[in-house]
Structure 1
């Protein structure tokens, strides 16, 4: 079997695994790399050189600098100003989407969205605006903003590095700006003027009422040892709290009893499933002694535990522990809403497997998915990217726990302006790095890595925060797929695809071939990571340019722009996934705005590319 055929088999299997989504994309990419090594497509001694590639180093540095902007308070200053907009929807969309667009040009676009998402939700609540009208434009704005500079999005960094490997000169910091800024502004105008009519309105049950109003969450409360409620009937419970709180079910052991049909008395470790908000939960804790969260899972039981079975007639067996964990101290606890990120360690795992309380000090109160809450046992839920969680935890530790778990807080964010000295310092460090790049004093990877190092040395952020900022799965994806993309080129696979496109488009103007390349790359970026799309399409673009005997630059620019046009699906980009749960969107909602936006971007981008980078 020819090397090119083997590469196509590897890539077909890789793309199928990306679309299937059963395994995370970094694992799929690593499997593709190792498969290529075993088949002899990638030399074993060069298998892991991709992890030291300038594109990978640049992405790491940008992620660290982005976290530095957050910690210094720079973004909070901007967000505070954005919150002053009035109640007109068109102004809200313009300010929010425009702000994230600008931020995405100087920091990682997912990071920019993560910082502005709580601001958008707070704005929606304050002005009684359905979040669905603001969040999809916000996500798309973060993708558009990344087009404007070298560091705005990984595809730009990849394309720049590929150009350097082919021609000996990489794209500069602002080489993307003329085309990227024009496309971004055109996209912003389309979203605000036309797109706002295409965004689905998920009002009422899908977002504000069912998801963001905590009174509509399903809560599990436990009767602790020596709790006041032990021995009470449900009527006694309602009389004690003086509120008609609905008890949907009482769970004892493995048996569930419907609330309306339960006429017995409550026992220790009984689970009550109720619909309650923070006020009702406080009443149940204070007046009935109930605790948030289900019973401790079996594997978390303490050593020395002894179980005795009472054999009284007509009574069920009851467990009594010699040593038992003290009840949860709810003083100082707060409720927070958070969305599960694509790279979260919670994905496909349950509360029990995560040991959420023991290791992270968090209680899971409720889960919402696809715009509505899940009405199943909380301990049985396997989390997915985009799930919205209601969590309770200590005020001091909850932020760090969410960061470790890979969750993005959605509750109203208390803006912290940071230290003015650090704010100015972070801006000055970044400006010095950009100046070094513009003047060709240092390559992008060196300049930005130096800026990240200086930020750590002067205390803009801590070393721990810097490591937490690095998106491990994306780094593994890039490091693994770079050699695979090179194998597509060296095996002749890219030339074969380019020859096929040349044959089909031989009678067409080159501009139509560019449009075809744009559509292919755009479609690919909507089902796989945009960085992977850029890595795979760059060699094909170079072969096309060689076949047409044209300049390489317009073909690479087409790939750079189209790889970031992941507007059609919620899985094409992390930004799209992050807003799916909070906005109450369905899978099919994205193309309604995403398709006309993608076509508009292509119509604007190709003439601009040919104007700035002629054939």
Structure 2
């Protein structure tokens, strides 16, 4: 090997040590790699060291981060979570099976970590209802999301990188299709789920962890600060009522009864539709008005207008939240134009489209005559209304955000989000456009159609992962160009030993799993792609099989909690220790490895 080959090896070893030890930030290590390779002339020409910035896998992955956020904010994932709650039942094996299958399917089209984040609250609800310890359900949830990474090209970062690298190394002659992973990924997932249902959960045990809701949610913080007397009621407007055929402004319900109308449910044809409140909105007979106020004020309104009244159910509250209705707490800023003026004076409802439920002033809650109370410096307002209007409050110089509900989902956008997912996936399947083009177009449309906010899209893009890929791609090039990848393949798979496909694919799987567990699955994919290509050339095995062995190995991250984000996310809620992951994960890893390697070798 020449000097450049040794530089490539030294860069690889140093990068791996830094990735594992985390002495410096992972992205800083990754972005240092192209600099070293360019300065030393290891990659030629030097501009090739920057190839990662224009790599199609990087563009595709950035777009997929936004698509995942769109599926989350549009409520697609939440609807699946509600399905879990509806059909879960109370039998433990049935719950685990349902959780794992649903999570695995969603993880095939959405970020693994985002899938766990969406389902985690729903699974905690299920554990409470079924009186099952969270430790019995959390690990299956995390493992199912990881297994979903074996199903499609877009399900994990490593799959995308391997697909891109195979196309580049083969000169465009070979590629990995969108669902080529699923041919073996489905049996791998089925066997993995069966292992967890029949064996894995028996090894977990129960840790006695309390499965009651934990404090610290927005609702908990809200209750501590405001301890509101108000509740959400629903009033059905009968035919002939004097409120029928009047506008919200003329009805003056807020001024007369100290009650805020927050939404109207109206029947349109064969379906019912929620309507946002506007001052000029006309109230129709048959409308269901959702109003927020104290019980005595709501009863007074019902009595005066002879209207049936009911307390809104938890399902109806959840339905309102799922349609983009949300809460936030904002503070009057020191230089606000609202100081010493009332909400009626500034026409808060008309200008911002939001209701103010209460004012917190010097530790005291003002819930009566909120609209007629002059605002003072330091007042905190509890506002309620559509998410899109709450976002606009951030642009106001008169208000400062204190707290808000983290969920910004609006299930009305779910059909559009699913359509845009098809826009991303179908063109590459049909051979019309590359995934990078269709995914980028779909991501832009997600923002343009309101399926995801611009702020949500920006937060969704994990630049740490993108920088890792950008930095390590030229390292893969260097290993290939200097012949190091060929040497590694020759040492791992000596030609004179006439090794069969079981050995070659097995070694690639194990090495990929070790790389992924100790560093990162993206780094494993970039570094092992040229080795997998060289191994296919020397052994005569179909190159797609060697790349799939690396891909499945990169997803085999069950043994240690830090091996995958999904493990870390479920570790706390499940009350697990490292030994729990080792106890369950070793068996699952062996099952996955055996299934993947045997099927690939056939």
Give the match for residue 56 of structure 1.
58
* CA displacement, residues 443-473 of structure 1 (integer Å, 9 cap, x when unaligned): 1111111111122222222222111111111
- Structure 1 gaps of 5+ residues are 220-325, 333-357, 362-393, 401-412
Report the Cα offset of residue 134 of structure 1.
1.2
* CA displacement, residues 477-505 of structure 1 (integer Å, 9 cap, x when unaligned): 11111111211111211111111012288
User: 1:110 and 2:113 equivalent?
Assistant: yes
Task: Give runs of aligned pairs for residues 131-170 of structure 1, distance below 5 A.
Answer: 131-167=134-170, 168=172, 169-170=174-175
Give the match for residue 128 of structure 1.
131
Q: Matches of 2:151 and 2:14 in 1, distance apart?
A: 33
What is the CA RMSD across the aligned residues, in angstroms? Answer: 2.8
* Structure of greater Rg: 2
* CA displacement, residues 111-135 of structure 1 (integer Å, 9 cap, x when unaligned): 1111111212222233332222211
Report the Cα offset of residue 170 of structure 1.
2.1
* CA displacement, residues 324-346 of structure 1 (integer Å, 9 cap, x when unaligned): xx9975869xxxxxxxxxxxxxx
Q: Matches of 1:477 and 1:200 in 2, distance apart?
A: 37
Task: Give runs of aligned pairs for residues 77-96 of structure 1, distance below 5 A.
Answer: 77-84=79-86, 85-96=88-99
Give the match for residue 289 of structure 2.
none
* CA displacement, residues 183-205 of structure 1 (integer Å, 9 cap, x when unaligned): 1111111111111112253224x
Q: Matches of 2:179 and 2:582 in 1, distance apart?
A: 30
Mapped contact 1:93–1:137 kept (Cα < 8 A): yes
Partner SS for 2:12:
helix
Give the match for residue 434 of structure 1.
425
Q: 1:197 aligns with which of 194, 199, 202?
A: 202
Q: Matches of 1:416 and 1:505 in 2, distance apart?
A: 60
Report the Cα offset of residue 523 of structure 1.
1.4
Give the match for residue 35 of structure 1.
36
- Structure 2 gaps of 5+ residues are 222-359, 367-377, 382-399
Task: Give runs of aligned pairs for residues 305-454 of structure 1, distance below 5 A.
Answer: 397-399=403-405, 418-419=411-412, 422-454=413-445
Q: Matches of 1:481 and 1:521 in 2, distance apart?
A: 15
Partner SS for 1:397:
strand
Task: Give runs of aligned pairs for residues 506-521 of structure 1, distance below 5 A.
Answer: 506-521=497-512
Give the match for residue 188 of structure 1.
193
Give the match for residue 21 of structure 1.
22
Give the match for residue 539 of structure 1.
530
Mapped contact 1:10–1:32 kept (Cα < 8 A): yes
Q: Matches of 1:28 and 1:203 in 2, distance apart?
A: 41
Q: Matches of 1:508 and 1:522 in 2, distance apart?
A: 21
User: 1:171 and 2:176 equivalent?
Assistant: yes
TM-score by length of 2: 0.66
Report the Cα offset of residue 145 of structure 1.
0.6
Mapped contact 1:200–1:589 kept (Cα < 8 A): no
Q: Matches of 1:33 and 1:587 in 2, distance apart?
A: 35
TM-score by length of 1: 0.65
Task: Give runs of aligned pairs for residues 164-313 of structure 1, distance below 5 A.
Answer: 164-167=167-170, 168=172, 169-204=174-209, 208=211, 212=214
Partner SS for 1:194:
helix
Mapped contact 1:77–1:417 kept (Cα < 8 A): no
* CA displacement, residues 268-318 of structure 1 (integer Å, 9 cap, x when unaligned): xxxxxxxxxxxxxxxxxxxxxxxxxxxxxxxxxxxxxxxxxxxxxxxxxxx
Distance 1:439 1:396, change over 3 A: farther
